[in-house]
Chains A and B, each alone.
Chain A
Amino acid sequence: MNPVDLLGKIIEISHSNLEIPSRISSILNIIAQEMHFEEVIVYTFDRDKRLTCKFMNQKSVLFLILNQYRCHIGEGIVGSVAQKRVPQFFTIKDIPPRFGCLFYPDLNGVIEKFKTFSFLPLSDDSYLYGVMVVISSSRETIHDSEKVLLSMLSREIGGILRASELIFSSKKRISELATLSELGKTLTSNIEPHELLKNIALIIARALNATFVTIRLEHTFLKLDSQRFTYGVIEPSIENYVKELEKEAVRTKQAISLGELAPAEHKDSFKLSLYASPMLSKNRMLGTITICGTRSQQDLALEENSQYLIHTIANYISSGLENTLLNTKLRDVVKELGDAQKRLIEQEKFRSLGEMTANIAHEIKNPLVIIGGFTKRLAKKIQFEQTENRYIDIILKEVSRLETILNEILDYVKENPILIEPCNINDCMDEILYLFNSDVTWEQVHIVKEYDKALPSIMCDGQQIKQVFINILMNAFEAMHGSGTISIKTEQIKLDNKTFAAVSITDTGGGIDPAIISNIFNPFFTTKERGTGLGLAISNKIVMNHNGHLEIENVVGKGVTFVVYLPFKNSITKEEFL
């Protein structure tokens, strides 16, 4: 076949609609046959940018040997042709000893029978797609015209590879888009957060062909059963790596891979590729996504160029995830409000019934006291005979019986039954702060919280204890004229072998004048135009009733710290409150 026909044939094949690998193989076979080469081999790039033998002519012998080794750009002859992008031609006499990764003495017994070796870069104007190696055992030299022809052919093959790459990357892009749209659908569906997280993990695992995908939530404002959602199985041996990567991703707010985390000398010893990416929404750390695949799986999209996908996914789901979490939180709050309202209505019903009963009892009580009281006076004044005395006794006994019944009724319907129950002081405080937070006049008040999260519950009347906190916080607010910092600290403190929950509330209101400090607990003592002076008196009484006490640390010119001490062990009963 003359060169023009050959070129024509090859261009025809390269534009046919055969599968790309078959196009290349046919071309290689034609080159071998028509130009009399024994070996026509094509190296292309693997995902990790290493050159590997991928295609060959049918009769190739060397392919099976060369195929076992891969080389970087710049390594050996194959690598250097790739780097310089110029063809190189050798004979067996002058060929350098290294053939990519492989020294040709390793090819002993095979290489000697070949005479010429041609290496041609497969590139178009801007990109390099691989290297073609053409070897002959019969030809002592390659003519210049043949060199030109080989160069033209290699350009053509480069064109096919370019098309294949385009198809591959658009396929990849399409599958990425499909993944994102699937995620989008999941995120906007109205499912529970844990279902949502499981689905997300599943979609990502499928899209990236990962061994496992695990999502960990940092944000604990939603009380889920678990903060971790995993698709696949995390082997115990790598659990620690996962945790470390997550920690690092949260710390740096950057995506990180195990390779980056590990010291250089260990890098290649990992058989796994692990990659963690933070999920950030408006700079708020929601959590991390960690993805794992085995290293040998060359298809795993974890390697460099696809890491961005995970990153994109992390960014993409963050805001959706936050919405779902907020929605769920909102639902909880709405439900709680509904419950509270129901309770209020119940209480209201009970209260009006109670009020009526109390009124009736009150109306009866006074006349009864009068009847009984004057009967007693009567008995004192006049010396009756025995029978009359017996009658008087009967009247008084019945009066007293009625009084007892009335007292019982009135005790029963009294307005605020005292409720001693386990209370979480941190929660009590948060509920109050929540109210203050939504009050515009508190806008300029900066609240700094330092809670002992492990503070055990205490036995107390939560409503009364809240009253104490509110009084102290209101005083702080008033002392600071509505702007400043209030620091709140909760802790456990041991005093004389008894443990207390101590709640310190510190303001920046300038402190209390030492001349009046001894008066502040007195009822009706106030320095405020519109104060009643009962706030601290009542608070003190409530705290004392709980067997606790109040302490003040006054720094004149700076501020005051009120410390409320409440004992954990409390033997008080309802009766002792009265």
Chain B
Amino acid sequence: MKTIKLLVVDDEENIRILFKEELEEEGYQIELASNGLEAIKKIKESNFDLIILDIKMPGMDGIQALNAIKNVNKDQPVILCSAYGEFKQDFSSWVSDGYVVKSADTRELKQTIKNILHIT
């Protein structure tokens, strides 16, 4: 089976590590980026099946990064992941493919990934 490549974008190192470890256990190949610009650079270099994007980041914020990513590839699936649900009602977040509230419990994140990639 072809390995599934995910890109986790978050400014907090320990969150990146947590997500990487948790998701690698699920069998995904994980790349990391600590901000939007780095993420854009990475998606220009290689393809990702899915990007998990934190909304509140210094520099380019998540919504801007989302727009930039969709401009590079409008079919690129992106999950927005934020500390809170506030952005769910922001119009511009509606163009993402999924929205997860960040939690110590990673089950929702894992399930959303599966839904978007149609993994059963």
Complexed CA–CA distance, A365 and B86 (Å): 14
The reply on B105 being an interface residue by CB < 8 A is yes
**B residues less than 8 Å from A578 (CB atoms):** 85, 88-89
Which of B83, B89, B104 is the one whose CB lies under 8 Å from A362?
B83
Main secondary structure, interface of B, reads helix
Give 1 or 0 for each of A296-330: 1 = CB within 8 Å of chain B CB.
Answer: 00000000000000000000000000000000000
Does B115 sit at the interface, judged by CB under 8 A? Answer: no
A411 within 8 A of B: yes
Of the candidate stretches A274-282, A395-403, A499-507, A560-568, the one touching chain B is A395-403
A207–B12 CA distance with the chains assembled, in angstroms: 86
Interface string of B105-118 (1 = CB under 8 A from A): 11000000000000
Residue-wise, chain B 86-104 has the 8 Å CB interface mask toward A (1 for contact) of 1011011011000001111
A415 located at the interface, meaning its Cβ lies under 8 Å from any Cβ of chain B in the complex = yes
Quick one: closest A residue to B84, CB to CB?
A: A410
A432 within 8 A of B: no
Q: Which residues of B contact A376 (CB under 8 A)?
A: 104-106
Which chain A residues border B84 with CB–CB below 8 Å? Answer: 358, 361-362, 365, 406-407, 410-411, 414
In the complex, whether A571 has a CB less than 8 A from a CB of chain B is no
Interface size on B, residues (CB 8 A): 27
- Interface SS, A side: helix
Report the interface size class on chain A. Answer: 35 or more
Q: Are B94 and A541 in contact (CB under 8 A)?
A: yes
Mask of A363-380 contacts with B, CB within 8 angstroms, 1/0: 001101111111111000
Name the residue on A nearest B10 (C-beta). Answer: A366
Which residue in chain B gives the minimum CB-CB distance to A538?
Answer: B91
* Least CB distance, B47 to chain A, in whole angstroms: 19
Q: Is the beta-carbon distance between B91 and A368 smaller than 8 angstroms?
A: no
A362–B70 touching, CB < 8 Å: no
Total A-B pairs in contact (CB under 8 Å)?
97
Question: Which of A361, A373, A532, A537 is the one whose CB lies under 8 Å from B83?
Answer: A361
Question: Residue B21 at the A interface, CB < 8 A?
Answer: yes
Interface string of A184-216 (1 = CB under 8 A from B): 000000000000000000000000000000000
Residues of B within 8 A of A103 (CB): none
**Are B85 and A371 neighbours in the complex by a CB distance under 8 Å?**
no
Cα A396 to Cα B56 with chains together (Å): 25
Among B88, B92, B95, B104, point to the contact of A369 (Cβ < 8 A): B104
Q: Is residue A524 within 8 Å, beta carbon to beta carbon, of the partner chain?
A: yes
User: When the two chains form the complex, which single residue of A365, A377, A524, A525 contacts B22, counting CB atoms closer than 8 Å?
Assistant: A377
| Residue contact B105 to A534, C-beta cutoff 8 Å | no
Residues of B within 8 A of A541 (CB): 91, 94
Minimum C-beta distance from A519 to chain B (A): 10
- CB pair B70–A369 under 8 Å, yes or no, is no
The residues in B between 1 and 40 inclusive whose CB is less than 8 angstroms from any CB of A are: 12, 14-15, 18, 21-22
B105 interface neighbour in A366, A400, A415, Cβ under 8 Å: A400
Report the bound CA distance from A4 to B34 in whole Å: 130
Interface set, chain A 490-533, CB cutoff 8 A to B: 522-525, 532
How far is the CB of A222 from the nearest CB of chain B, in Å?
37
* Chain A contacts to B: CB under 8 angstroms: 358, 361-362, 365-366, 368-377, 396, 399-400, 403, 406-407, 410-411, 414-416, 418, 467, 522-525, 532, 534, 537-538, 541-542, 577-578
* 27 contacts across the A-B interface (CB closer than 8 A): A361-B83, A362-B83, A362-B84, A365-B83, A366-B102, A368-B104, A369-B83, A369-B104, A370-B12, A372-B103, A372-B104, A372-B105, A373-B18, A377-B21, A400-B104, A406-B83, A406-B84, A407-B84, A410-B86, A411-B86, A467-B91, A523-B70, A524-B67, A524-B95, A538-B92, A577-B89, A578-B85
